[in-house]
């Protein structure tokens, strides 16, 4: 087990009695492991292959990669990428479950990601609770403001009636005075 790339290269040199390691590659696809950053991204128990000077990595005859490459050559397809979405539940009581997104490039390289939505039900309940609370608050505000507006309108109508009555009385008074002068 090695924590850094240089430590691994030293252990390989000591155990295989090789003075200088020419190349270190992934056994599954031949990707070169030549930087510390890439080495740190590799999962534990990754199978690596040491190549001596002049050696070149080739897939094993019955390896899955060889089968994939030969099938890819036979198909003569020009697919660049294939993306699949799988929605599944680990437990029947799960509300949404999990989403697996898998992308395959050129039919050879695959990348997948699992999106787990275990707390989605709780989040949805909380969102609904806040929505209901907001709707209730909005209803209270609308009711209060409508009552206030109704009071204002009623006060305005009463004020108009108070103003209208003296004017109507004044008009009648003027009419009676005019009719009185005409009749004299």
Q: What is the pLDDT of residues 77-94, one digit of tens each?
A: 566 778 888 877 776 776
pLDDT at 135: 93
pLDDT at 45: 79
Greater confidence, 1 or 11?
A: 11
pLDDT at 167: 65
Q: Give the span between the Cα atoms of 180 and 89, in whole angstroms.
A: 98
pLDDT at 136: 92
* Rounded mean pLDDT, 3-27: 78
Q: Give the span between the Cα atoms of 75 and 69, in whole angstroms.
A: 10
Greater confidence, 64 or 111?
A: 111
* Rounded mean pLDDT, 134-150: 90
Mean pLDDT over the full length of the chain: 76
With 0-12 / 13-18 / 19 or more C-beta atoms within 10 angstroms meaning exposed / middle / buried, residue 39 is buried
Which among 27, 105, 42, 103 is positioned nearest to 68, based on CA atoms?
A: 105
* Rounded mean pLDDT, 101-126: 77
Cβ atoms of residues 100 and 90 within 8 Å:
no
H or E segment at 5? helix 5-16
Q: Which pLDDT band, with edges at 50, 70 and 90, does 76 fall under?
A: low
């Amino acid at each position: 087990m090695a924590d850094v790339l240089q430590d691994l290269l030293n252990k390989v040199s000591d155990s295989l009695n090789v003075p200088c390691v020419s190349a270190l590659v992934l056994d599954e696809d031949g990707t070169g492991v030549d930087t510390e950053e890439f080495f740190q991204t590799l999962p534990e128990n990754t199978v690596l292959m040491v190549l001596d000077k002049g050696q070149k990595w080739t897939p094993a005859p019955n390896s899955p990669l060889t089968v994939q490459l030969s099938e890819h050559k036979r198909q003569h397809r020009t697919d660049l990428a294939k993306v699949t979405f799988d929605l599944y539940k680990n437990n029947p009581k799960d509300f949404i479950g999990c989403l697996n997104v898998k992308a395959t490039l050129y039919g050879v390289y695959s990348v997948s990601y699992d999106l787990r939505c275990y707390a989605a039900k709780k989040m949805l309940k909380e969102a609904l609770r806040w929505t209901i609370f907001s709707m209730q608050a909005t209803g209270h505000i609308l009711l209060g403001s409508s009552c206030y507006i109704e009071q204002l309108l009623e006060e305005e109508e009463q004020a108009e009636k108070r103003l209208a009555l003296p004017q109507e009385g004044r008009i009648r008074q003027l009419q009676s005075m005019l009719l009185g002068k005409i009749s004299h």
